[in-house]
Amino acid sequence: MPGWLMWLLVGLLAWVLLAVPLSLFVGRFLRLSAASLAGADAETAARADALTRSAPIAAQSAFNPPREPLESRRILIVDDDAPLRALLHTTLTAEFEVAEAADAERASHLARLWRPTLVLLDVAMPGLDGLSFCSDLKHKQAYGAPLVVLLTGSEVTEEEATRVGADALLRKPFSPLELVGVIDRLTGADSIETGTEIAYKPGDQVQLYARDLSRLVEIERMQRRVVQDAYRETVTALANALEAKDTGTGTHSLRVRHYAANLTAAVEPALLEDPSLEYGFLLHDVGKIGVPNELLEKRGPLNPRELEVMRLHPIIGAEILAEVTFLQGEGLNVIRSHHEQWDGTGYPDRLAGQEIPLSARIFAVADALDAMTGERPYRRPTSWSAAAKEISAQSGRQFDPDIVKVFRKEKDGLRRLFELTTAA
């Protein structure tokens, strides 16, 4: 297997293994908690002040043997507290089919017909209490022995809960993440450690939900930074692998990214708000993956047929990355159009003047600067001063005159970047 192809596969594998699971983790819990907080009611806080909380039942009983992961994901909420039912419903509806009942009598009809996977059951209800109904759910064949999590603010012991066959016991007020964790463990789903145990525990249900939402916002910000760093590192590794295939050096991508970013900041800073732009700078020549090695390594001018093949690489690159989410925007414009020329003689689309995306016009100057001052198989590098003069000479022909003006103002800073990256 060629070395560059191995780098490509390693880079793509790293992105899939790290970025996707982190994104799924964050998205899942933010949906749950954000929706839950919206369904909260002030009445819940007043009712929950007198309640205490304890951990789920740890031991298995004769009524709840270990189970395989379940395909059905139906949850029945049974509680006479309407605001709490709404809170639980919005917490769970993103991932489960959810039904609710205000008492055991109505829940009994639902449980017989609907056959829930799991029942969230309040203990203190009018009519048949939760402990008695739990025993019925576990013993009577008509109910199908669903999993049962008892919700209580009273002094129900774990021994009492185990005696009636409950699978877990949650004391009000409880954290939504704690509830989801208990459900995941009981149904055999993968659970995620969220680290929500803290010294201060709010005294009501709404405060607990608000605390968890705040915690999840913090987690989301941290994970977003991790994902962004993973994208950047993976793309950089891929760009370096491609540069090794093309020019034998991985420093071109690093330098040209810095040149382009500095020029963009001087020409149109708003472009830098597009996160795809940096990835476009790094992967501008990704299409050379489709160009034969003998053309990339040829020590001499390309003939017309070879030149035609080489000029396909912007199209190949844009097609390869067209469906990649983090490149949608200016990043793809750079990849496709960075070889267009101001006078319309460039490629692949023969765009001219303002038809060329601004990001691509900026990058064209940065790319040409590094191409002239860097090593190439077909020629030795030119001096920095000679490269700067050539860029000025091509104003209005190869390059946008306004961008060349900015380049002249910024060239001292760009030269320092060049010296820093070539010092080694």
Q: What is the pLDDT of residues 27-59, one digit of tens each?
A: 444 444 444 444 444 333 333 333 333 344 543
Q: Fold identical between 25-218 and 247-422? A: no
How many beta carbons lie within 10 A of that of residue 13, not counting itself? 11
Which pLDDT belongs to residue 279? 85
Which pLDDT belongs to residue 5? 47
Q: What residues in the chain have per-residue pLDDT under 70?
A: 1-72, 189-221, 223-251, 376-379, 421-424
Which pLDDT belongs to residue 301? 85
Contact 347, 353 (CB under 8 A): no
Domain ranges in the chain are 25-218, 247-422
How many beta carbons lie within 10 A of that of residue 56, not counting itself? 21
Superfamily of domain 247-422: Hypothetical protein af1432 (1.10.3210.10)
* CA within 13 Å, CB half, 107: 31
Which pLDDT belongs to residue 70? 46
Domain 25-218: top CATH class: alpha beta
Task: Sort 191 into a burial class: Cβ within 10 Å, 0-12 / 13-18 / 19+.
Answer: middle
How remote is the C-alpha of 125 from its chain's centroid? 43
- Residue with the two structure tokens 């951990």: 55
pTM as predicted = 0.51
Which pLDDT belongs to residue 311? 94
Contact 236, 406 (CB under 8 A): no
